[in-house]
C-alpha cells in the first residue's frame, strides 16, 4: 500500500454507540418509567474477571443504569448458583444477567447459561438466542461479534459480496460472527469462510480474504505473508506478552502482527484501542434492548 491504512478506532465507534444507548435509555425512562438494569455475577476472585466486572459497573453508572454485582465464593455449589440466576430471572428491575467467565471447574457453565432467561441473556450465549440469531430472528447478539459489525458499519466498510475469512471457531466470536456476516444486514451479506487450526495451509486461505478477522488467541500470529494486499484486518485478539521495556514488564498485543502487516492493508483495528472497547458498549446496548423488550411485554 502506498498510503497509510485507515485505523478503525474502537474509541470513536464505542463513544458514538454509547451516546445512542444513552439516548435510548432516556427515552425508555421517559416513556415507560423503566431504567435498564444489569446484574453481573462474579464467582471467585480472579483478578482479570474482577477488573472487567468493575468496568461494567462503572459504565452502568456513567449511563445511569441500575447496576448490581453479585459476588460469590469459588466454593459455591452449582445449585446455589442456579438458584441465584433464577432469582435474578424473576427480578423485574433486572433486564440483563451476565455470569462472568471463567467459572470454577465444578460448575457446569452450559447449565448456568441455559438457566438464564434468554430475554435477559445480554451475553447472547443462550441456545435460544443462538438459534434465533442463526435463522435471522431478533435476538440478543454476542457482544464482541456485534461490536465488529458496528465498527465495519461505522466506517462505511463494504462487506456485501466480499470474501471474508474468520480465523477462529469459538462459540463466543468465530461461529456467531460467521453467522452474522453471512446474513443480509448492515455489516453482513459477505462470502464467509471459517478457518482454524486444522487447516492444512492456513496462509493460502487467509490470503484470499478481502476482510480478515483474527480471533484465535495467539499473539501476533497473523503476519504480512498471510494477508492479501489491500485487505481489511479486524484483530479480535487480546494477549498479554512479556516486555522488559514496559513499566509493567508486559504489554497487550493482538492476534495480528500489527507492525508487520500495517503497510500492506487498507484498514486495520489496533490492539489495544480496537475491538476490545466495543464489547462493553455492545453489552450496554443489549441491556437497553432487553429493557425495551420488557417494556413492550416480552419478545
The residue among 125, 111, 127, 223 whose CA lies nearest residue 167 is: 223
Contacts of 107 (CB under 8 A, 6+ apart): 43, 76, 78, 81
Helix (H, G, I), strand (E, B) or coil at 27: helix
Burial of 214 (0-12, 13-18, 19+ CB in 10 A): buried
**Residue 230 Rama label (left phi>0; alpha psi -120 to 50; beta):** left
Tell me which of 123, 235, 255, 257 is the catalytic residue. 123
**What secondary structure letter does DSSP report for 256?**
B
At 149, list the grid cell. Answer: 459489525
Tell me which of 58, 78, 83, 100 is the catalytic residue. 100
**274 touches 6 (CB < 8 A):** no
d(CA 25, CA 44): 32
Helix (H, G, I), strand (E, B) or coil at 39: strand
d(CA 180, CA 161): 14
d(CA 210, CA 231): 5
The angle at the Cα of 140, spanning 34 to 14, to the nearest 5 degrees, equals 80
Q: Is 56 a catalytic residue?
A: yes
The CA–CA distances, whole Å, from 227 to 182, 210, 241 equal 21, 9, 23
Q: Is 123 a catalytic residue?
A: yes
**240 touches 254 (CB < 8 A):** no
Contacts of 137 (CB under 8 A, 6+ apart): none
* Catalytic (active-site) positions: 56, 100, 123
Amino acid at each position: 500500500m502506498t498510503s497509510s491504512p485507515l485505523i478503525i478506532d474502537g474509541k470513536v465507534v464505542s463513544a458514538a454507540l454509547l451516546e445512542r444507548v444513552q439516548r435510548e435509555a432516556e427515552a425508555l425512562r421517559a416513556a415507560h418509567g423503566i431504567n435498564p438494569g444489569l446484574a453481573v455475577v462474579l464467582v471467585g476472585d480472579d483478578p482479570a474477571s474482577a477488573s472487567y466486572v468493575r468496568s461494567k459497573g462503572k459504565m452502568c453508572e456513567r449511563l445511569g443504569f441500575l447496576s448490581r454485582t453479585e459476588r460469590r465464593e469459588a466454593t459455591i455449589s452449582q445449585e446455589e448458583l442456579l438458584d441465584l440466576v433464577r432469582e435474578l430471572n424473576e427480578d423485574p428491575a433486572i433486564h440483563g444477567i451476565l455470569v462472568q467467565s471463567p467459572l470454577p471447574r465444578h460448575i457446569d457453565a452450559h447449565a448456568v447459561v441455559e438457566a438464564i432467561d434468554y430475554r435477559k441473556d445480554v451475553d447472547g450465549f443462550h441456545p435460544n438466542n443462538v438459534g434465533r440469531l442463526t435463522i435471522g430472528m431478533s435476538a440478543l447478539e454476542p457482544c464482541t461479534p456485534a461490536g465488529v459489525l458496528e465498527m465495519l458499519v461505522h466506517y462505511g466498510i463494504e462487506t456485501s459480496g466480499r470474501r471474508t475469512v474468520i480465523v477462529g471457531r469459538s462459540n463466543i466470536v468465530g461461529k456467531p460472527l460467521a453467522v452474522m456476516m453471512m446474513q443480509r444486514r448492515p455489516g453482513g451479506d459477505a462470502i464467509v469462510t471459517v478457518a482454524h487450526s486444522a487447516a492444512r495451509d492456513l496462509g493460502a486461505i487467509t490470503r484470499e480474504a478481502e476482510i480478515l478477522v483474527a480471533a484465535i488467541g495467539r499473539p501476533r500470529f497473523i503476519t504480512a505473508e498471510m494477508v492479501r494486499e489491500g485487505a481489511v484486518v479486524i484483530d479480535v485478539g487480546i494477549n498479554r506478552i512479556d516486555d522488559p521495556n514496559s513499566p509493567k514488564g508486559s504489554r497487550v498485543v493482538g492476534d495480528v502482527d500489527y507492525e508487520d502487516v500495517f503497510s500492506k492493508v487498507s484498514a486495520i483495528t489496533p490492539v489495544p484501542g480496537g475491538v476490545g472497547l466495543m464489547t462493553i458498549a455492545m453489552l450496554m446496548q443489549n441491556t437497553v434492548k432487553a429493557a425495551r423488550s420488557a417494556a413492550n411485554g416480552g419478545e
